[in-house]
Structure 1
Amino acid sequence: MATQPHSDEERLKAALWHSVGKIVDAIAVEQSPSVNAAPTFIAGMTEMLAARITTISADLETFSRHAGRSVINEDDAMLLARHNDGLKSVLRHKAEKERKSENR
């Protein structure tokens, strides 16, 4: 019996599930070695994160299109972070670090 090929979305969600599981397990072990996360918790976190990624990617595409560009750039990411000072600071720091490494 041949198996159906998985869609890109299914493969991405499986990879996200794996990553979320590894992160949750690492945090659980760090906090208390006897604590273990239930698969339903990891599934819930994965679904929540996938929904957020979908929203963020749509927002970034919209910002880019509104600016008349077909490529998402740093300005779009900064616009996305406009209401989150902590995120804005991290993005600025990363962008500055990237610019410095490009100028070498």
Structure 2
Amino acid sequence: MESQDDYEKLAHTQRLKAAVHFTVGQICEETSREIEVTFSKQVIAALAEATFRQCEIAAVDLELFARHGKRSVINTDDVRLLARRSGALANHIKEVSDKLSAVNAAEKEGKVKKSRKKKSTVVKENE
């Protein structure tokens, strides 16, 4: 049974690597049109492999940050902690996180107002 699980894990990893390779290839193609430079297949493959390995490292780090915080869910604080050494990336993540927090707060406020209206309607109907 272990060999079946290992095979499935390997197949899943290979599909992920193929997806990353495809995406890196698309980005390189788009960039090559913009700056009029061509990328060799070896360069694309090397970029894809480096990207995949960096994502693996980031995933492990995020998991460890959450575990250190005694949580089982990775949150935005963990992502900010991961990006702390890259100033531009940390600022970008902070901006996106703040925007998402504002949107979530607005949605939550809207739901609270709707529930208050429903409660007041129910109270009026019962009177």
Aligned to 1:88: 90
RCO higher in 1 or 2 (8 Å CA, sep ≥ 6)? 1
Aligned counterparts of 2:87 and 2:30: Cα–Cα separation in 1: 27
Larger radius of gyration, structure 1 or 2?
2
Which one-letter code corresponds to 1:30 in the other structure?
Answer: E
- Decide which of 54, 59, 62 is 1:60's aligned counterpart: 62
Listed as ranges, the matches of 1:38-53 within 5 Å are: 38-53=40-55
Structure 2 residue matching 1:72: 3-state secondary structure = coil
Aligned to 1:21: 25
Q: Percent identity?
A: 32
Aligned to 2:71: 69
Shift of 1:36: 2.4
TM-score, normalised to structure 2's length?
0.73
Structure 1 residue matching 2:39: 3-state secondary structure = coil
**Alpha-carbon displacement from aligned partner over 1:34-73 (angstroms, at most 9, x marks no partner):** x322111110000110110011110000000010001100
Which one-letter code corresponds to 1:47 in the other structure?
Answer: E
Ranges in structure 2 where 5+ consecutive residues have no aligned partner: 1-6, 108-127
Runs of 4 or more, structure 1, over 3 Å off, are none
Between the two proteins, the alignment pairs up a number of residues equal to 99
Say which structure is richer in helix.
Answer: 2
RMSD: 1.6
Structure 2 residue matching 1:36: 3-state secondary structure = coil
Ranges in structure 1 where 5+ consecutive residues have no aligned partner: none
Aligned counterparts of 1:89 and 1:19: Cα–Cα separation in 2: 25
Shift of 1:81: 1.5
